[in-house]
Amino acid sequence: MSSIAETARLETATETLAEYIGYLNCEIDTELEAVSPNRELVAALEHELGIVLGERRSVRPDAHAIINRALYIYAPRLKALQ
């Protein structure tokens, strides 16, 4: 793969991770603002958020597993929400 393609994948993955972090934060805030928040749901969302934040901090050009997860797992989830 060319360095341009690798850079594009890294940038796309980084943007996807940031967008997914924003989505998770919004879901947590929405649930906490409910009259009767589901604490188990909040805990699950916070756990997922912790994982994704760690991935965002660790993403580098050679972090293929994180890049692939962002592109093939998180991006379709976000796309389905649109």
Q: Phi, psi (5° rounding) for residue 60?
A: -145, 165
Cβ proximity of 57 and 36 under 8 Å: no
How far lies 13's CA from each of 20, 31, 45, in Å? 10, 27, 20
Q: What is the pLDDT of residues 35-71, one digit of tens each?
A: 999 999 999 999 999 999 999 999 999 999 999 999 9
Please give the model's pTM, rounded to 2 decimal places. 0.92
For helices 3-32 and 39-58, what crossing angle results, to 10°? 160
Q: What is the pLDDT of residues 1-44, one digit of tens each?
A: 778 889 999 999 999 999 999 999 999 999 999 999 999 999 99
